């Protein structure tokens, strides 16, 4: 999603994009992975962004509302990932927490005819190729089989 479109969506929600919020948003977009609000707050502070935890929660709330962020419940924690626009699904790596957007839709052939599907969401959770390779390398170095 381009910056101008995102600014417009945030403006429509009466969310003023201050300099601090904008720097927080940039860090969130650049992270490339899902983060808890506390992780995003800590990472922002480490990068010099002067924002409070309440600001982080508010930004994530409004981004979710406009479809620019997606929450994921993983092992009892709520993580958020930045989403591009357009219809897509997600593959979430449970090892590195990177979120990969998938543009193809899964098949819903078994929906009974009397149901009318208006939208859907499909998220897949597992291990990405990079983390699989790293795990194989670790296992090879120790003599263990994967």
- Answer yes or no: do 139 and 113 share one domain: yes
| Chain CA centroid to CA 127, Å | 16
Let me know if 35 is exposed, middle or buried by CB neighbors in 10 A (0-12, 13-18, 19+). buried
Give alpha helix (H) positions in 14-124: 19-31, 37-46, 53-65
Q: Where are the beta strands (DSSP E) in the chain?
A: 69-74, 77-82, 89-93, 99-102, 123-126
Mark which of 65, 85, 105 sits at the end of a domain: 85
- Answer yes or no: do 47 and 93 share one domain: no
Q: Domain range holding 110?
A: 87-146
- Answer yes or no: do 66 and 7 share one domain: yes
4 pLDDT above the threshold of 50? yes
- Answer yes or no: do 108 and 60 share one domain: no
Residues 20, 85: contact at Cβ < 8 Å? no
- Answer yes or no: do 91 and 80 share one domain: no
For 130-140, the pLDDT digits (tens) are 999 988 876 55
- Answer yes or no: do 37 and 92 share one domain: no
For 80-125, the pLDDT digits (tens) are 999 887 888 889 999 999 998 888 887 767 888 899 888 888 889 9
pTM of the model: 0.79
Mark which of 37, 58, 85 sits at the end of a domain: 85
């Amino acid at each position: 999603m381009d910056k101008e479109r995102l600014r417009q969506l945030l403006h429509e929600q009466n969310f003023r994009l201050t300099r601090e919020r904008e720097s927080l948003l940039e860090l969130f977009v650049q992270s490339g992975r899902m983060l808890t609000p506390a992780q995003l707050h800590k990472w922002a502070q480490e990068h010099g962004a002067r924002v409070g935890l309440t600001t982080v929660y508010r930004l994530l709330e409004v981004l979710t509302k406009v479809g620019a962020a997606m929450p994921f419940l993983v092992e009892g924690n709520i993580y958020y990932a930045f989403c591009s626009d357009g219809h897509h699904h997600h593959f979430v790596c449970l090892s590195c927490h990177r979120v990969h957007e998938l543009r193809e839709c899964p098949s819903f052939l078994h929906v009974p005819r009397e149901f009318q599907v208006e939208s859907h969401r499909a998220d897949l959770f597992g291990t990405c190729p990079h983390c699989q390779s790293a795990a194989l390398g670790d296992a090879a170095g120790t003599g263990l089989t994967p």
